Amino acid sequence: MDILNKISEHLQLGDDEKVRIFTKEAIKAKISPKEILNNGLIFGMDIIGKKYKAHEIFLPDVLLAAKAMYAGMDLLRPMFIKGGIPTIGKVVIGTVQGDLHDIGKNLVGIMLKGAGFEVIDLGNDVSPSEFIEIAKKEDASVIGMSALLTTTMPFMKIVIDLLKEERLIGKIKTIIGGAPVTEEFAREIGADAFGYDSINAIEKVKGLTGMT
Amino acid sequence: MRPVLRFLSDELIEKIVGEAREILCKLGVEIHNKDILFMLGEHGAKVEMDRYHVFLTDEIIESALKAVPKSFKLYDVLGNETHHFSDYNVYFTPGSAALNILDYETNEIRKPKTTDYVRYVKVVSQLDNIASQSTAFIPADVCEKISDSYRLYLSFLYCEKPVVTGTFTMEAFNIMKEFQVIIRGSKEELKSKPLTIFSCCPTSPIKWSNVTSQNVVDCANFSIPVEFVSMPLSGFMAPVTLVGTLIQHTAETLSGVVISQFTNPGTPILYGGSPAIFDVRYETTPMGAVETMMIDCAYNEIGKYLGMPTQGYISLSDSKQLDAQAGLESGVGATLAALCGINNISGPGMLDFESCQSLEKLVLDNEICGMTIHLLKGIEPKEDFPSLPRFQELLKEQHLLISEHTRRYLNEEFYFPGVVIDRASRTRWQEEGSITLLERAHGEVERIIKNYVSSRLQDDTKKELTKLMTEEAHLYGMRNLPEHE
């Protein structure tokens, strides 16, 4: 088994220690960091995503794999010029204003990172203007909003309305999610996508960023 | 702590048993088998041979109760232990012996064929929560005289699990016993490692036919375990009150214990039954009635009180389809039976008053059984004290999804049912095709059958069984057995 396969296999097992060891070996073997990232780490995470979707593994397995991925990425980070891991897109995420429930949003953040996105997590109780400002400042291509309360869901529409006002619709895409949020609501408020769980959210974000 | 449910106080059990014993001694029991009557007469019972009647004595009943084993084990066709009928251990067995099956394709209730039986055995061989097979229905494409032995033959051929079965005639016992001797290698080995349980049914009120009483004797002679299946019908062939029904059930079952233990002391038995209330509106015997389930649970308590492992036809449904009623009645029954500790719970897969098996229901019931078995683990601390470190970790990490504690206990603490049970979000469920319970269950049946791996029973043994079965078929005029792969 070549080193990249080993990285992918151990990542799928959630073994961060082994991923660290084989990533070091790959670096030593002069495999380019981009290849290690794409054909080792992200390749392994893609398989994990598919297995989770097919009910073959559970959420903790996915999170352990993501943790193992970070272990490899930490070693690769200094090797990239300009000090950053190349990403497949930048996503700003947060729980909307008035809402402190961030478990689902955190999961989406972990999964997005695992899929190779750069994630700027604004935390919870995030005002509509903060979503817009940070997305603009960071040149993010997607804003992800989460809500658990029906009373805070209208803030999602405010964010989208602000994007319209600033003529950013189309440039910055939006995805929403959370227990009371539905596909229908997403359509009503003009969101670009709706994710019903973390894996689905990643698929949708990939769609929004032209990855699929 | 294992949760336990009880319906009867010890005082009430003693009264019920006392009344049952008095019935057996003063009113007697009708046994249409002169050899048995003669045997009991020799042990001091008063026998009225002309009307097949025997009046037992307290000494006879006491002696039988002393001889009966408090527990016993079952072994699969390979000789591995699969069951230990003891205390509050619980095992599930598909309901038997249905005349019909529910056909998924046509949604009709119809007579089953050999191919249906093979599909059933392949499914049950892979259901984790169903520990034994039963000869669950009767293939209608062989002559009646071999329909009982033929079921058992197919079961042994395709599945390793031990079998709950029974004979329809006295003649069939021999070949059904011979199959087992062939698999085990000798009578002695069969005795030390039982492979089947035979259901033996008295007739209400307090009667034994020639065939069923002879079955009890035949099984005892080869130390083959039996389960007594007394079937009093409350309000019809038994008193309307549950206590009155229990008195009759106790009398009928104790008479079976006496026949068995006087034939061969120490023969393993299950104190079982299939009583029901009688629904005077429809003239039916609802197995899904809550009162039926209460009688089942209660006679199980009586059996335990008398020192015997138990069995019950419970966790089945009277519905004709795999619908909400089927789930309700099977789920409630399985839960009550397990909480009461009925050792062998017979029912999964069964519909329509024990007359129809459904493979789709069987895979659904397998999940009911799984949840029920999990329920019995109760609630126990697992590194929960002191709790402060766990909560410090939670507050720091904001979740415990990948904490060591979660990883260590996730699969032990939760039961994860298969795809038959829908736990997806509505959106995901819709995205995956809005598949109904029946469709999911059918998909699972087909997946299981596709994944079937042959029984590891030696090929030579299988050939020997086939030879014996073929000879038996010839005996009753069948030139060839139906094709089954």
pLDDT digits (tens, 9 = 90+) for A63-98: 899 889 989 989 998 888 665 677 789 999 999 999
Positions of chain B with pLDDT lower than 70, given as ranges: none
Length of chain A: 212
Determine whether the interchain pair B401/A106 forms a contact, defined as Cβ–Cβ distance below 8 Å. no
Residue of A196, A202, A203 best to disrupt the B interface, most CBs of B under 10 A? A196
Determine whether the interchain pair A67/B428 forms a contact, defined as Cβ–Cβ distance below 8 Å. no
Amino acid at B170: M
Burial of B272 (0-12, 13-18, 19+ CB in 10 A): buried
- Residue A212's pLDDT band, with cuts at 50, 70 and 90, is low
**Bridge partner list, B46:** B55
Q: Which residue is listed with tokens 């009982």?
A: B148
Q: State the pTM of this model.
A: 0.90
Determine the pLDDT at residue A53: 83
The interface predicted TM-score (ipTM) is 0.76
Q: Are B223 and B267 in contact (CB under 8 A)?
A: yes
Across A39-43, average pLDDT: 93
Chain A closest-CA separation from residue B449 CA (Å): 19
Determine whether the interchain pair A103/B398 forms a contact, defined as Cβ–Cβ distance below 8 Å. yes
**Greatest CA separation found in chain B?**
85
Three-state SS at B197: strand
Beta strand B46-48 with B53-55: parallel, antiparallel or unpaired?
Answer: antiparallel
Determine the pLDDT at residue B407: 92
Determine the pLDDT at residue A82: 63
Q: What angle is formed at CA B137 by the lines to CA B367 and CA B278, rounded to 5 degrees?
A: 80
**Residue A48 host element (H or E):** helix A43-53
**Greatest CA separation found in chain A?**
55
Expressed in angstroms, the distance from the first to the final Cα of chain A is 29
**Which stretch of A108-117, A185-194, B191-200 has the lowest confidence by average pLDDT?**
A108-117
Long-range contacts of A134-139 (CB under 8 A, 24+ apart): A134/A92, A135/A92, A135/A168, A135/A172, A136/A166, A136/A168, A136/A172, A138/A90, A138/A92, A139/A90
Beta strand A173-177 with A142-146: parallel, antiparallel or unpaired?
Answer: parallel
Residue boundaries of the structural domains of chain B: 1-379+417-485
Determine whether the interchain pair B406/A60 forms a contact, defined as Cβ–Cβ distance below 8 Å. yes
d(CA B78, CA B458): 9
Chain B closest-CA separation from residue A30 CA (Å): 33
Superfamily of domain B1-379+417-485: Trimethylamine methyltransferase-like (3.20.20.480)
Determine the pLDDT at residue B427: 86
Asked if the C-beta of A43 comes within 8 angstroms of chain B's C-beta atoms, the answer is no
Q: What angle is formed at CA B398 by the lines to CA B396 and CA B404, rounded to 5 degrees?
A: 75
Contact list, B398 vs chain A (CB under 8 Å): 102-103, 106
Residue of A57, A58, A95 best to disrupt the B interface, most CBs of B under 10 A? A58
Determine the pLDDT at residue B434: 97
Percent of chain A past pLDDT 70, that is, above it, reads 97
Determine the pLDDT at residue B15: 98
Closest CA relative to residue B403, chosen from B391, B412, B414, B415: B391
Q: Is B285 or A103 the better-scoring residue by pLDDT?
A: B285
Beta strand B350-351 with B356-357: parallel, antiparallel or unpaired?
Answer: antiparallel
